[in-house]
Amino acid sequence: MNYIWIGLIIISLIFGVLNGNLEEMLEVMLSAPKDTLELLLKVGGMIIFYSGIFKIAVDSGVIKIFSKLFSKVIKKIFSNIPSDHIAIDYISANIVSNLLGLGIASAPMAIKAYEEMKKINNNKDTISSSMIIFLVINVASFTLFPVTVISIREVYLAKINIQIIPLLIIVTFINTLLSVFFTKIVLRKKNDE
Amino acid sequence: MSNLFLFIFIFAIIVTGIVKKVNCYESFIQGVKDGMKNVVNMFSFVLAFVIAINLLNSSHLLEYISSKLNFKYCDLLIQAIVRPFSSSSSLSIMLKNYEKYGVDSKISLLSTFIHTVSDSTFYMISFYFGCIGIKNTGKALVCGLVTNIIGIVLSFLVVMIFF
């Protein structure tokens, strides 16, 4: 992360200076804290709200129902987590809400899942293999209702719109499968060494 | 449709809470407290991320590259490069493609797929692992980026076959 971050900044700065838009860059650099606050007000506000709603679901045991839906598959994928651990419930709840296209509402569940995975990890500062797998599943964004792009395309009066939903579902599904498979292989190699 | 889901989702949770005799009010407050802590933890990480993306956008480096590379799919190439870094940049390229090539064109469809089939790895890593305090993210970046690449390759295949 460190090198990527430094790299992004250095390349942008050098190119910006060569291009002569120094002032604009200074401006956006100084406005970054404000942008971040605005982003967090928007996204963070929703996360805080759904954290509250989600806590009700946890306390009432609703998320146990979610985890029963996929428990077999998820336990197989996350073989490092004890099978009756609460992290499994959080992971299932996150995946279900992603499938339904609930967007930001699923973020608190992901955070909870990562927190629980951190608790069972031996080294608190370092990522565990189950966290990487969960991240990959989230990046691959398997969904049944790709609502954002569909509504945007509707605004643009697209003729090909509903037809792409099944394709998107298939592609995100295959992407999730292949990526988890790849990640498993990479992580296994690391463990062998 | 997603609004309806969200509504049902929230409603169902509260109803179950009532049925299971949970003190919903207390639970909600407790959850919000946890959420607040998480969001405050996120600030520094998201700030670092926003600075890098802001600088990249304002340097006009990507526009420069795409103006130099003058082939049919260069906008898509730029979008594919940007996708792991920033969702909003990828979205804005997608909208530009809609206007430039028409929303039902092959390029716009590809652009839609590239935007949808994977999420921004860098943002997720800094956001989630910053939030829970993981310093050493190990192979997460590589695995996330491979996911992005697989998604992009699959998008190309599917759009080429079906449209």
Mean per-residue pLDDT pooled into runs of 10, chain B (163 residues)? 76 89 92 89 86 86 79 84 89 90 91 91 89 87 94 93 87
Residue B38 region by backbone torsions, left for phi larger than 0, else alpha for psi between -120 and 50, else beta: alpha
Q: A-chain residues within 8 Å CB-CB of B128?
A: 110-111, 114, 135
What's phi and psi for B136, nearest 5 deg?
-95, 105
How many CB atoms lie under 10 A from the CB of residue B121? 24
Rounded to the nearest integer, the mean pLDDT of chain A is 87
Its ipTM equals: 0.86
d(Cα B117, Cα B143) in Å, to the nearest integer?
A: 15
Q: B-chain residues within 8 Å CB-CB of A5?
A: 48, 52
Give Cβ neighbours of residue B13 (< 8 Å, ≥ 6 apart): A53, A54, A56, A57, A60, A62
Pull the structure tokens for residue B73.
């799919």
% residues pLDDT > 90 (chain A): 24
The pLDDT value recorded for residue A190 is 63
User: B16 and A59 in contact by Cβ < 8 A?
Assistant: no
pLDDT band of residue A191 (cuts 50, 70, 90) is low
The pLDDT value recorded for residue A192 is 56
Test the B interface: residue of A1, A40, A102, A178 with most B CBs within 10 Å: A1
User: A40 and B43 in contact by Cβ < 8 A?
Assistant: yes
- Say yes or no: A92 contacts chain B, CB-CB below 8 A: no
Least Cα separation, residue B70 to chain A (angstroms): 20
- Say yes or no: A100 contacts chain B, CB-CB below 8 A: yes
User: B119 and A138 in contact by Cβ < 8 A?
Assistant: yes
Tokens 């964004």 appear where?
A141
List the end-to-end C-alpha distance of chain A, in Å, as a whole number: 23
Q: What is the mean pLDDT of the segment spanning A136-141?
A: 92
User: A56 and B135 in contact by Cβ < 8 A?
Assistant: no
For the residues of B87-150, what is the DSSP string, one character each? HHHHHHHHHHHHHHH-TTSHHHHHHHHHHHS---HHHHIIIIIHHHT--B-TTHHHHHHHHHHH
- Say yes or no: A104 contacts chain B, CB-CB below 8 A: no
- Say yes or no: A86 contacts chain B, CB-CB below 8 A: no
d(Cα A94, Cα A102) in Å, to the nearest integer?
A: 10
Q: Which residue ranges make up each domain of chain A? A: 31-192
The pLDDT value recorded for residue A42 is 83
- Say yes or no: B15 contacts chain A, CB-CB below 8 A: no
Q: Which residue ranges make up each domain of chain B? A: 39-162
Least Cα separation, residue B71 to chain A (angstroms): 23
| pLDDT over threshold 60, residue A185 | yes
Going from the C-alpha of B46 to that of each of A34, A36, B83, B134, the distances in angstroms are: 12, 7, 17, 14
